[in-house]
């Protein structure tokens, strides 16, 4: 598996609207990408958000990263700017159903 972590700094007062847009528009787009495993967005305070997306392999993650970058630029880029991006192979994992 391969994961991408993005950190965004939002403009003050925009994160709730951005989160709604991400949930209703971006999440369905991302989950439809080949190799999708999981996606989580976290409000870390001070108008900042971090997201973690996981795909089955590096090629799937790279393709989805392009889709994500294009969507962010078109839909929420004015409110969050460019993210700080880190990515790499998942070396340990576990999860439970919610």
* CATH code of the domain covering residue 37: 3.30.70.100
Q: Count how many domains the chain has.
A: 1
Question: What is the widest separation between alpha-carbon atoms in the chain?
Answer: 36
User: 49 lies in which domain range?
Assistant: 2-89
Question: How far, in Å, CA of 9 to CA of 15, rounded?
Answer: 9
- Contacts of 67-70 with CB under 8 Å at 24 or more apart are 67/29, 67/30, 67/33, 68/4, 68/6, 68/26, 68/30
Tell me if 76 is assigned to some domain: yes
Tell me if 72 is assigned to some domain: yes
Tell me if 96 is assigned to some domain: no
* pLDDT digit string, tens, across residues 46-85: 999 999 999 999 999 999 999 999 999 999 999 998 999 9
The pTM of this model reads: 0.92
Pairing of strands 2-9, 48-55: antiparallel
Tell me if 80 is assigned to some domain: yes
Mean pLDDT of 2-14: 96
């Amino acid at each position: 598996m391969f994961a991408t972590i993005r950190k965004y700094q939002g403009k003050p007062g925009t994160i709730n609207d951005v989160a709604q847009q991400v949930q209703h528009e971006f999440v369905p787009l991302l989950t439809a990408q080949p190799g999708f495993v999981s996606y989580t967005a976290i409000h870390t305070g001070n108008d900042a958000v971090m997201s973690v997306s996981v795909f089955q392999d590096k090629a799937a993650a790279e393709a989805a990263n392009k889709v994500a970058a294009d969507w962010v630029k078109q839909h929420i880029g004015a409110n969050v700017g460019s993210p700080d991006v880190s990515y790499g192979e998942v070396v340990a994992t576990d999860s439970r159903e919610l």
